[in-house]
Amino acid sequence: MKRSPTDRFPLSLSLSHALSHRTRRGRRNLGLLATAVAVALTAFALSAPLRSPVRDLPYGQFRKRLAEGGVASARVGPTSIEGRLAPASPGAAPALYRVSRLGMEHDEDLIRLLEAHVPGGDYDAESAPSPAWAMALPTAMFLMMVAVLTLVVARSGGVGSPLAFGKGKARVYGADEARVTFESVAGHDEVVAELREVVDFLRTPGKFQSLGGRIPKGVLLVGAPGTGKTLLARAVAGEAGVPFFSLSGSDFVELFVGVGAARVRGLFARAQAKAPSLIFIDELDAIGKARGTGGSGGHDERDQTLNQLLVEMDGFDADRGVILLAATNRPETLDPALVRPGRFDRQVVVDRPDLVGREQILKVHSRVVPLADDLSLRQIAAMTPGFVGADLANLVNEAALLAARRGKDHVGRPEFEEGIERLIAGPEKRQRLLRPDEKARIAYHEAGHALVARSLPQTDPVHKVSIVGRGAAALGYTLYRPEDDRFLHTKTALENAICGLLGGTLAEEIALGEASDGCTSDLSRATEIASRMVLDFGMSPVLGRLRYGGDRDAARPGGPSAARGYSERTAREIDLEVRRIVDEAMAKARGILEARRDALDRLAARLIERETLNADDLDELLAD
């Protein structure tokens, strides 16, 4: 029921201009294809002879009817005879017939019979067409279809086209197109200072070569999703004023083997032709994972693409002013040959912004948003620990939408606070109907969290407590607001955090006699903290200052001992220590709730009455 401000949700960015351009191009291609099909069908319809339902007659039966006067007309062709039969009775409509002449082309009596028995001499013969004229119309139709389909493929840009699998998909931005500078980047002052050297390399390479220096071939940007790696790469290209080739690592990979390697060769050839230039590969881990880990040796498409990338990085001349930038959020999965010096000479960490960085990012994104006079962006930044640049941009947008929905002409603190809660826990579910006993249980649960956290040192201050459901599963939540960024946690702080997580289910048990199943996320996070205290932080007096969590999945209790790297006896001791830490935290939280039972009851009653309590309300209720 409690959500942490560091729980992240993936965010997406819509590129409306690119999508509309692709949509218009797709409509043009669809129109060309429809035209080609219409032309082909028309040509086929014109080339096909007009045929009505006719009666097929054997040649012998035709001669017999002809001798009896049963044929009204005849047209003799090279391979067939067609015409009308005489009516069977007066007033009846004449029937059409067709007779094959194949094998009977030299029947000398046919002309005599036609002269003698066709009334009025209603017969004639057609000459055999020459082979050239017989093939002219089908050949013209085929050439027309090939020409139109070739035009469609050429206009399609290669996406999905069998004739353009080896064509690169890099988007090229000119020196003056979509210009982004370092003024658009906030919250990463150290990273910007590091990348300014790359700009100097591209602007004045001779300055560094005069002293025997070598321009770095590659710069790897490492950071969590949404921290602004792509924006930084575009800012480098914008500051340097050079062409910018941008694509994703997945753009190299196709179904057919060898296509990715061909695209790598084409990309570097295009970049060197426009040197000085900048190549940016986003999500490098899509093609740069360590070889031999894919299950198919070194012969699959991804490994061939990686091999070609290694060759190109060794082969291209960095002195000409071509620099490769790449971004990834999983540097540990990259191949060692890719990240060695000489290929990616520099690795720049784009970390989550700190308090000052978040305030700067909020100022950048709120330039076009009218803010209230009493709004402090620093206070809003203090409420968003763990947020990245994409989260903060979404927060400003959510706050502006909420203010517009409420009919305001400016955006204030209530809208930002509501936006933070929407991003962390989801939108409110006020229409969710709860029974009175469920509402009381949720109130005691959240009151237990708040009371235990307010009673222990080294815990984040409680900013808000609510029993209004949010998102898909949260029936209530307790929101903490750290006073500043914290990069280290003591043993006491971790133990008290476990106490706060267990306070909800213990409050249900103390006040209502038994716990419910609404504590799943609390127990999971409490167990995770206790496990890391034992496995990673060496905070167990029994196991000592040792780290057992080398492989995160294998080191979990219950994993195979061979993969864990320690014995079953040690695994048993780890289980016992994790259990001891949780039990001690549970005993401490239970003692607080039993000693302050009156405060627990007051908090729960006020929550049932008002549904939401802020920090001032908590101070008033817990003043004694």
| Catalytic center residues | 446
Dihedral of alpha carbons 539, 541, 547, 553, sign = negative
Answer yes or no: are the C-beta atoms of 279 and 266 closer than 8 Å.
no
Q: What does 538-599 look like in DSSP terms, one character per residue?
A: --BTTTBS----SSTTTTSTTS-HHHHTS-HHHHHHHHHHHHHHHHHHHHHHHHHHHHTHHH
For the chain, what's the residue count?
A: 624
Burial pattern 177-202, b for ≥16 Cβ within 10 A else e, equals eebbebeebbbbeebbebbeebbebb
Q: What does 216-245 look like in DSSP terms, one character per residue?
A: -SEEEEEE-TTSSHHHHHHHHHHHHT--EE
Query: What is residue 296's DSSP assignment?
Result: S
The three state secondary structure string of 481-525 is: CCCCCCCCCCHHHHHHHHHHHHHHHHHHHHHHCCCCCCCHHHHHH
Please name the amino acid found at residue 310.
L
> For residue 474, what are the CA distances in angstroms to 36, 412, 426?
56, 26, 9
Q: Which residues lie below 8 Å from residue 86, measured CB to CB, with a gap of 6+?
A: 69, 70, 71, 72, 94, 119
Instruction: Compute the distance between CA of residue 70 and CA of residue 611 in angstroms, rounded to an integer.
Output: 101
Residue whose C-alpha is closest to residue 593's, from 518, 517, 499: 499
Q: Which residues lie below 8 Å from residue 408, measured CB to CB, with a gap of 6+?
A: 415
Please name the amino acid found at residue 568.
E
Tokens of residue 528, six digits: 């995770």
User: Within a 10 A sphere around the Cβ of 95, how many other Cβ atoms?
Assistant: 14
**Partner residues linked to 22 by β-bridges:** none
User: Within a 10 A sphere around the Cβ of 3, how many other Cβ atoms?
Assistant: 20
